[in-house]
């Protein structure tokens, strides 16, 4: 088949791709030109073209902020813990739900754990503030069991844990659904065969279910590497207070406060670029890992 023949046959397919490519160019690539403000002392009146250039000054300022090390560490710790908790929790929940026999029970639980995903952090923040208050339901329970009341949101010992657990509570339902979908793809014949061979429930999970979803596990874990600097801006902004800056302040919330003092567009641009830069490498790495261990490729 010559190229000419091929094009004659395939041109409608290419034509259909065009709007998508135009969209991506227009709304994903063209705005990237705005990255220049990270290297400028940007002023909206002067625009991208006429704002003075300042080289690396915005980045130098960002890295020289006295708290930069602290917020970077907090961001990494919280984000990594969230990724791990989310993945492991989702797998366990998916396995448990998968073993449940009663469809009604399974559906109900699934809906319940999925529900918080749809609430905004502003709403959940208010709820958490009530639940975790010194005389809130959780502390009342602790006190009635003879324990000491804890300041879950106000103490540096607890804050990270509270953020990670509440983030897990909100998001785990969503990740679970992906695993449940992967579980349905496992051929039931394998389960039946091993049951006949005398394998118990745990044996079957270990030798059939888990290997069956391994590609999905590797893929999701690898792809979540790109989120390693996303510790959850809205969540922390809703829950934190100056008392827990030491353990709870992340890059996003810190820059948010720095930017509030005056409209530091360029600084915000520099932060965005810095995070994108790190994420870019991590995504490239995760793509390599996904290919290597799960055989996942785009091309």
Partner 1 sequence: MNRKLPFKTSDLKPSRRDFLRLSGASMAAMMMARYGVPPVFAQGMGDIPAELHPGSPNNPRGWTTALPPIPEGMPVDPPVTITGSRRGPWEFADGDDIENSNFTRLNAAVTGIIWKLAFSWTDNEEEVLQKYNLAIASNELPDFMETVPLQIYGELLDNDLVEDITEVWDAVADPVWLKEAWSFGGGAAWQHADVNGRKMSLPHTEQAAQNDKLLWIRQDWLDAVGMSIPTTIDELYQVAKAFVDADLGAGAEGSTIGIAAANNPVTWYSSLDPIFGAWGVMPGYWTPNEGGDLQYNSVLPEIKEVLALLRQWYAEGIFAQDYFTLRPPQTAFGQIGANTCGITMSPAFAALFGLPDSVTNDPSARWTWGDIPAGPTGIKKKAWSNPVVDSVFCFRKGFEHVDLVLKQIGWWAELLQNPENRYHGFEGTDYYWRDDDGEVDPMGANLDLASGYDGNKHIWGPPGTNGSALTEPRFETNWIKHRREVWANVPEDERDAYMEAFLGGDELSVLWDDANVFAVERWELDGIRNHFTTFPTRTMERAGASLADLEAETFVNIITGQASLDDFDSFASDWAAGGGDRITDEVNEWWHGQM
- E-strand spans in 99-149? none
Look at the alpha carbons of 237, 243, 249, 252 in this order and tell me if their dihedral is positive or negative. positive
Q: In the complex, what is the shortest distance from the CB of residue 95 to partner 1, in angstroms, rounded to a whole number?
A: 37
Residue 22: both structure tokens together: 């135009």
188/242 with CB nearer partner 1: 242
Q: In the complex, what is the shortest distance from the CB of residue 177 to partner 1, in angstroms, rounded to a whole number?
A: 33
Contacting positions for partner 1 (CB under 8 A): 43-47, 61, 65-67, 129, 133-135, 140, 149, 151, 153-156, 239, 241-243, 245-246, 249, 254, 257-264
65/76 with CB nearer partner 1: 65
Return the closest-CA partner of residue 78 out of 174, 166, 173, 177.
166
Return the closest-CA partner of residue 219 out of 122, 139, 287.
287
Q: In the complex, what is the shortest distance from the CB of residue 200 to partner 1, in angstroms, rounded to a whole number?
A: 48
83/258 with CB nearer partner 1: 258
Residue 145: phi and psi, rounded to 5, are -90, 5
Q: In the complex, what is the shortest distance from the CB of residue 48 to partner 1, in angstroms, rounded to a whole number?
A: 9
215/259 with CB nearer partner 1: 259
Q: In the complex, what is the shortest distance from the CB of residue 115 to partner 1, in angstroms, rounded to a whole number?
A: 24
**Tally of CA atoms within 13 A in the half-sphere of 272 that contains its CB:** 15
121/179 with CB nearer partner 1: 121
212/259 with CB nearer partner 1: 259
Question: What is the b/e burial string over 110-143, where b = at least 16 CB atoms within 10 angstroms of the residue's CB?
Answer: beebeebeeeebeebbeebeeebbeeeebbeeee
What is the secondary structure of 247-280 as a DSSP string? HH--HHHHHHHHHHHTT-HHHHHHHHHHHHHHHH
d(CA 299, CA 297) in angstroms, rounded, equals: 6
Q: In the complex, what is the shortest distance from the CB of residue 295 to partner 1, in angstroms, rounded to a whole number?
A: 44
């Amino acid at each position: 088949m010559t190229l000419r023949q091929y094009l004659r046959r395939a041109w409608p397919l290419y034509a259909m791709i065009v709007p998508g490519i135009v969209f991506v160019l227009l709304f994903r690539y063209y705005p990237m030109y705005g990255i220049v403000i990270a290297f400028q002392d940007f002023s909206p009146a002067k625009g991208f073209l006429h704002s003075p250039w300042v080289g690396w000054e915005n980045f130098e300022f960002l890295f020289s902020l006295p708290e930069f090390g602290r917020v970077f560490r907090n961001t990494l710790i919280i984000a990594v813990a969230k990724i791990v908790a989310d993945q492991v929790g989702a797998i366990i929940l998916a396995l448990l739900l998968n073993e449940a026999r009663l469809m009604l029970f399974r559906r109900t639980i699934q809906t319940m754990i999925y529900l918080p995903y749809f609430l905004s952090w502003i709403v959940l923040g208010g709820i958490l503030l009530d639940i975790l208050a010194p005389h809130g339901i959780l502390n009342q329970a602790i006190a009635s069991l003879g324990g000491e009341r804890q300041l879950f949101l106000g103490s540096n010992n607890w804050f990270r844990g509270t953020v990670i657990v509440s983030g897990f509570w909100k998001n785990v339902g969503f990740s679970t659904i992906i695993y449940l979908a992967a579980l349905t793809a496992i051929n039931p014949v394998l389960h039946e065969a091993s049951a006949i061979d005398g394998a118990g429930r745990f044996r079957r999970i270990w030798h059939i279910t888990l290997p069956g979803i391994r590609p999905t596990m590797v893929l999701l874990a690898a792809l979540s590497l790109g989120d390693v600097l996303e510790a959850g801006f809205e969540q922390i902004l809703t829950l934190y207070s100056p008392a827990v800056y030491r353990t709870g302040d992340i890059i996003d919330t810190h820059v948010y406060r720095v930017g509030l003092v005056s409209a530091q567009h360029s600084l915000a641009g520099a932060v965005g670029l810095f995070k994108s830069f790190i994420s870019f490498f991590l995504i490239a790495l995760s793509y390599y890992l996904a290919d290597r261990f799960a055989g996942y490729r785009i091309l």
